[in-house]
Amino acid sequence: DGYFHHMMRQCRYSSKDLQGIELITSYVFNKVEDIRFNSTVGKYVGYTEHGVKNAEAWNSDAGILAQELGELERVCKPNAAIAYS
């Protein structure tokens, strides 16, 4: 009984070139993915009614989008060498 909320960030490395790095941030509520940010798309996408509303709000805030893209620079790119070793 109760609620389950989970947020997961993934760095996907498709090539050794740093331009090929993709950041995926997923927000899950009760085992259903509500919202996903994809750095390649550059915005949040909602998959449920609640997720669509939040994605619209978050996409309209340049600060939130900049923060997500900052995670790509802060987390994914510095760890690329580890992923390829």
Report pLDDT digits (tens) over 44-72: 999 999 999 999 999 999 999 999 999 99
Quick one: pLDDT at residue 81? 77
- Residue 17 clears pLDDT 80, i.e. is over it: no
The predicted model scores a pTM of 0.84
Quick one: pLDDT at residue 26? 97
What are the sequence ranges of the domains in the chain?
Answer: 5-84
Class for domain 5-84, per CATH?
Answer: alpha beta
Going by C-alpha positions, the residue among 20, 11, 21, 5 that lies closest to residue 54 is 5
Share of the chain above pLDDT 70, in %: 98
Quick one: pLDDT at residue 55? 97
